């Protein structure tokens, strides 16, 4: 039998590809199948949807993953989209997101408002000639899900009581900028006591003011990440339901009466945990095999020290829940474990290539606590800087006799490409010098006009390295 080579697939029409794969199906009895669940984890706007779109596009259309072993060794046959394993979740709209990125003018996908999933069947030739003589081809089913980053922040709540959560949230709100952002809600809190009767309109009032405070945290210049509960910001199908009608209350001394405002809020908090959070995470996160954690470090540097500190706390709290190696409490429910975790600094195309090592080192430093905890539990961890969709080129210019590594691209909201010096990333821990008020201004970029139209997969930086680490051993 003659196999189609990966680079040949780019040139065959869709019909021919369908026929080729149909022919392969004849041998279905001799195709070994495996499944790998990849958890794409990241706070809001970290780049999850764009990453999943580019991953699918590059595996389906091929051509821009040169250092992925299975492709470099010409063992990759083709990839095909399949329905996701969970029949109740919508399919990830790969075609819609790709259409947005390749439109004229191109644009980024909108922020995600609900969960979606997808299965990608990767067909390849196994490495060992012996295995190939028994099974000429193998298929790896790669399952991925996409969801609003806000929902990730619900994870730490699963392990907290209403009392713990209230105490912790109120402690956080004592510090600026939160104290000022939450001034109206804090004032409301000063007018109620936990022992008041369980009045529905009072609960609604508190929840509405608390929700305004969360929106203010999100919109603020500090771009705060630790914003809970996630559905208060991105409610999905739960908008307006009583499940979202609670807020933290000061616990006071002693046990408040059950028939009280506290009792009502406590009940709703527990209902939110079991009916929304637990269900979502058990369905989609508890049985992950591999995990990529996407972090927008440049966005955090732009937003300043409060944002960076907050992001670190938020990520550490979320990652504690996953089952890495033998630890983690989320998967105690299922006994499944993640054995490889990749931390990736996203949007590496926002800086010149010479900055990528510093970008990676910075991420390494920011996630050091979580990374060490995961390693301790026995999972393999790596860190890299990547761009799922490369929107700029590194160019060298001269300024006052000095060579400067600049980038060329179209800044977000502009029409024309320009060459600019994006700034540099420090190579040490001193990120925010005291005498400089806003040391970083990394810009966002538009997707380049005509991107992806050559049918070769979206241009990227190190997507192949990321996939090698995450899937490589399952494609051998």
Ligand X SMILES: Nc1nc2c(ncn2[C@@H]2O[C@H](COP(=O)(O)OP(=O)(O)OP(=O)(O)O)[C@@H](O)[C@H]2O)c(=O)[nH]1
Per CB under 6 A, residues contacting ligand X are 42, 44-50, 108-109, 111-112, 148-149, 346-347, 349-350, 387-389, 391, 444-445
Q: How far is the CB of 152 from Mg ion (least distance, A)?
A: 11
Query: Binds 347, which of Mg ion, ligand X, none (CB < 5 to 8 A, cut-off by type)?
Result: ligand X
Query: Binds 393, which of Mg ion, ligand X, none (CB < 5 to 8 A, cut-off by type)?
Result: none
Closest residue to ligand X, Cβ-based? 149
Q: How far is the CB of 440 from ligand X (least distance, A)?
A: 16
The residues pairing with 39 across neighbouring beta strands, listed in sequence order, are 291
Nearer residue to ligand X within complex by CB, 42 or 194: 42
Nearer residue to ligand X within complex by CB, 46 or 117: 46
Residue with tokens 């992950």: 288
Residue ranges in 162-181 that form contacts with Mg ion under rule CB under 5 A: none
Q: How far is the CB of 467 from ligand X (least distance, A)?
A: 15
Q: How far is the CB of 39 from ligand X (least distance, A)?
A: 13
Query: Binds 426, which of Mg ion, ligand X, none (CB < 5 to 8 A, cut-off by type)?
Result: none
Query: Binds 349, which of ligand X, Mg ion, none (CB < 5 to 8 A, cut-off by type)?
Result: ligand X
x/- letters, 248..277, toward Mg ion (CB under 5 A): ------------------------------
DSSP-derived 3-state class of residue 156: helix
Closest CA to 462 of 319, 336, 333, 347: 347
Nearer residue to ligand X within complex by CB, 399 or 416: 416
Query: Binds 346, which of Mg ion, ligand X, none (CB < 5 to 8 A, cut-off by type)?
Result: ligand X
Nearer residue to ligand X within complex by CB, 54 or 245: 54
What is the size of the binding site for Mg ion (CB under 5 A)? Answer: 3
How far, in Å, CA of 261 to CA of 191, rounded? 13
Q: Give the dihedral sign, CA 384/385/388/393.
A: negative
Nearer residue to Mg ion within complex by CB, 50 or 77: 50
Q: What is the DSSP string of 252-270?
A: -SSPPPSSSHHHHHHHHHH
Q: What own/partner pairs with CB < 8 Å and gap ≥ 24 does 112-115 have? A: 112/48, 112/49, 112/146, 112/147, 112/148, 112/149, 113/148, 113/234, 113/236, 114/90, 114/147, 114/148, 114/236, 114/237, 115/89, 115/90, 115/145, 115/146, 115/147, 115/151, 115/236, 115/280, 115/284
Q: How far is the CB of 363 from ligand X (least distance, A)?
A: 15
The residues pairing with 403 across neighbouring beta strands, listed in sequence order, are 398
Q: How far is the CB of 351 from ligand X (least distance, A)?
A: 10
Q: How far is the CB of 304 from ligand X (least distance, A)?
A: 19
Determine if 112 is a binding residue for Mg ion (CB under 5 A). yes
265 and 273 in contact (C-beta within 8 Å)? no
Q: How far is the CB of 60 from ligand X (least distance, A)?
A: 18
Nearer residue to ligand X within complex by CB, 262 or 440: 440
x/- letters, 64..103, toward Mg ion (CB under 5 A): ----------------------------------------
How far, in Å, CA of 464 to CA of 59, rounded? 10
Query: Binds 391, which of Mg ion, ligand X, none (CB < 5 to 8 A, cut-off by type)?
Result: ligand X
Query: Binds 273, which of ligand X, Mg ion, none (CB < 5 to 8 A, cut-off by type)?
Result: none
Query: Binds 108, which of ligand X, Mg ion, none (CB < 5 to 8 A, cut-off by type)?
Result: ligand X
410 and 448 in contact (C-beta within 8 Å)? yes
- Read off the DSSP letter of residue 331: G
Q: Report residue 179: phi and psi, to 5°.
A: -60, -40
x/- letters, 38..57, toward Mg ion (CB under 5 A): ----------xx--------
Tally Cβ neighbours within 10 Å of residue 176: 10
DSSP-derived 3-state class of residue 80: strand
Q: How far is the CB of 112 from Mg ion (least distance, A)?
A: 3
Q: What own/partner pairs with CB < 8 Å and gap ≥ 24 does 97-102 have? A: 97/49, 97/50, 97/53, 98/53, 98/57, 98/452, 98/458, 101/50, 101/53, 101/389, 101/447, 101/451, 101/452, 101/458, 102/450, 102/451, 102/452, 102/453
Q: How far is the CB of 109 from ligand X (least distance, A)?
A: 5
122 and 137 in contact (C-beta within 8 Å)? no
Query: Binds 44, which of Mg ion, ligand X, none (CB < 5 to 8 A, cut-off by type)?
Result: ligand X
Site residues, Mg ion (CB under 5 A) = 48-49, 112
């Amino acid at each position: 039998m003659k196999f189609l080579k990966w680079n040949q697939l780019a040139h065959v029409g869709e019909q021919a590809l369908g026929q080729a794969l149909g022919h392969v199906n004849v041998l279905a009895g001799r195709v070994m199948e495996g499944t790998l669940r990849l958890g794409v984890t990241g706070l809001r706007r970290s780049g999850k949807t764009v990453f999943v779109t580019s991953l699918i596009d590059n595996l389906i259309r091929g051509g821009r993953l040169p250092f992925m072993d299975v492709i470099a060794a010409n063992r990759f046959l083709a990839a095909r989209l399949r329905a996701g394993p969970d029949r109740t979740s919508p399919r990830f709209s790969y075609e819609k997101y790709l259409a947005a990125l390749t439109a004229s003018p191109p644009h980024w996908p909108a922020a995600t408002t609900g969960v979606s999933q997808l299965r990608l069947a990767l067909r390849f030739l196994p490495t060992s000639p012996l295995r190939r003589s028994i099974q000429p081809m193998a298929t790896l089913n790669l399952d991925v899900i996409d969801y609003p980053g806000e929902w990730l922040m619900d994870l730490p709540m699963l392990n907290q009581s209403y009392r713990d959560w209230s105490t912790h949230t109120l402690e956080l709100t004592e510090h600026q900028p939160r104290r000022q952002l939450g001034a109206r809600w804090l004032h409301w809190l000063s007018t109620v006591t936990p022992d008041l009767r369980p009045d529905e309109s009072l609960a609604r009032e508190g929840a509405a003011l608390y929700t305004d405070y969360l929106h203010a945290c999100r919109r603020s210049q500090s771009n705060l990440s630790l914003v809970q509960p996630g559905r208060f910001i991105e409610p999905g199908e739960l908008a307006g339901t009583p499940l979202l009608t609670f807020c933290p209350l000061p616990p006071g001394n002693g046990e408040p009466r059950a028939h009280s405002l506290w009792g009502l809020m406590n009940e709703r908090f527990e209902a939110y945990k079991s009916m929304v959070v637990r269900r979502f995470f058990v369905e989609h996160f508890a049985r992950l095999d591999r995990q990529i954690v996407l972090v927008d470090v440049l966005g955090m540097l732009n937003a300043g020290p409060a944002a960076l500190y907050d992001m670190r706390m938020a990520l550490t709290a979320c990652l504690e829940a996953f089952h890495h190696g033998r630890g983690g409490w989320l998967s105690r429910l299922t006994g499944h474990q993640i054995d490889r975790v990749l931390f990736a600094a996203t949007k590496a195309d926002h800086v010149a290539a010479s900055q990528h090592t510093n970008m990676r080192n910075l991420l390494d430093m920011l996630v050091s606590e979580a990374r060490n905890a995961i390693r301790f539990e026995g999972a393999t961890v790596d860190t890299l800087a990547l761009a799922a969709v490369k929107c700029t080129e590194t160019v060298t210019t001269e300024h006052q006799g000095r060579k400067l590594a600049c980038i060329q691209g179209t800044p977000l909201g502009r029409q024309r490409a320009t060459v600019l010096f994006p700034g540099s990333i420090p190579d040490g821990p001193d990120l925010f010098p005291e005498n400089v008020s806003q040391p970083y201004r990394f810009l966002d970029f538009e997707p380049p006009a005509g991107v992806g139209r050559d049918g070769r997969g979206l241009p990227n930086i190190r997507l192949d390295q990321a996939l090698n680490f995450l899937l490589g051993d399952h494609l051998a």
